Amino acid sequence: MLRALIFASALAVPLSAAAFTGGDLNKLCTKTDVASRSACAAYIEGAADGIFNTIDAIGGTTGPRVGQYFCLPQDARSAQLTDAVRKYIAENPNVAGYNASTAISLGLGKAFPCKSGS
């Protein structure tokens, strides 16, 4: 009986969830209130960290390899990451419909490309 109840509850949950897009991220990042700006920076830093760790798990982040999207300098600051992503989205409007983490990868890759032998 409990399984049936759990199954019925699962069916009641909407089957589609809206993804957070590059456009959504850009809207968040253009707001001027402290909470929105902090959320923007935290989202970008978190996604960059997640992408970096995923790449590390599948083969390393010590240089340009298949799947290596960006190479952040040791002294990169949050504002630099945010500016790079916002600039990329502004210059590439089609990215607004992409998943936000994809837009972040592309923006950071443009601003902080890996150099050979990095």
pLDDT in the model for residue 53:
77
For the segment 91-103, the average pLDDT, to the nearest whole number, is 93
pLDDT in the model for residue 18:
62
Name the residue type at position 112: F
pTM of the shown model: 0.74
pLDDT in the model for residue 19:
83
pLDDT in the model for residue 2:
43
pLDDT in the model for residue 52:
77
The CATH class that applies to domain 19-111 reads: mainly alpha
Main-chain dihedrals φ then ψ at residue 71, nearest 5 degrees? -130, 100
Dump the DSSP string for 78-113: HHHHHHHHHHHHHH-GGGGGSBHHHHHHHHHHHHSP
SS3 content of the chain, % helix, strand, coil (to 5): 65, 0, 35
For the segment 34-62, the average pLDDT, to the nearest whole number, is 83
Which residue bears the tokens 């050979």? 116
